[in-house]
C-alpha cells in the first residue's frame, strides 16, 4: 500500500515560493542548507540558495514534505490538485496570507479560494472545531 511522501509544486521562483508556504503553514520551515548541499549547488554553478532549482520545506512533526521545483513554463491553467488549509478565523487567516503574498480569488459561504505568489490555488476552510463551521464532515 502506498503512502503520501512529498507534495511537489512547479514554479518559476522555488526559493520565494518555498518561503511563502513555510510561513503559511504551522510547523513548516525551509530545510536548512548544510555544507554538502551548498557544495552540490556550487558544483552546478549555483552560488546563491535564492537560485536553488529545488527547495525543500519540511514539517516539524508528521506530515508531507513540500518540494518547490523550477520549471521553464508559466502556469496557465487551473490546478488539478490543490491544498486545503484549516483556520480558526477565515478572515484573519486571509489577511495573514495576503500579507505573505497570497491573493484572495473567491469567497464562498464555507471557505475562501486563494492563490500563492506563483498563482497556485488553495482553499482555506474553518477549523473542524470552529463553532461556525457549516459542514463538519468537510471541515
The CA R_g of the chain, rounded to the nearest whole Å, is 16
What's the pLDDT score for residue 130?
Answer: 52
Q: Which residues contact 77 (CB under 8 A, 6 or more apart)?
A: none
pLDDT band at 133 (very low <50, low <70, confident <90, very high): very low
Could you tell me where the beta strands, DSSP code E, fall in the chain?
Answer: 6-11, 28-30, 54-59, 65-70, 84-87, 103-107, 112-115, 121-126
Judge contact between 86 and 43, C-beta under 8 A.
no
Angle value at C-alpha 83, between 78 and 88, nearest 5 degrees:
125
For the stretch 38-92, pLDDT in tens is: 999 999 999 999 999 999 999 999 889 999 999 998 888 877 788 999 998 999 9
pTM: 0.86
Amino acid at each position: 500500500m502506498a503512502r503520501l511522501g512529498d507534495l511537489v509544486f512547479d514554479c518559476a521562483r522555488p526559493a520565494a515560493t518555498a518561503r511563502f508556504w513555510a510561513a503559511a503553514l504551522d510547523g513548516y520551515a525551509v530545510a536548512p542548507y548544510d555544507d554538502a548541499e551548498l557544495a552540490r549547488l556550487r558544483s552546478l554553478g549555483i552560488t546563491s540558495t535564492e537560485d536553488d532549482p529545488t527547495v525543500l520545506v519540511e514539517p516539524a512533526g508528521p506530515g508531507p514534505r513540500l518540494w518547490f521545483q523550477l520549471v521553464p513554463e508559466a502556469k496557465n491553467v487551473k490546478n488539478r490538485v490543490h491544498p486545503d488549509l484549516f483556520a480558526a478565523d477565515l478572515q484573519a487567516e486571509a489577511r495573514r496570507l495576503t500579507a505573505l503574498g497570497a491573493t484572495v480569488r473567491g469567497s464562498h459561504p464555507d471557505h475562501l479560494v486563494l492563490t500563492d505568489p506563483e498563482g497556485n490555488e488553495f482553499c482555506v476552510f474553518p477549523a473542524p472545531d470552529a463553532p461556525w463551521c457549516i459542514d463538519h464532515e468537510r471541515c
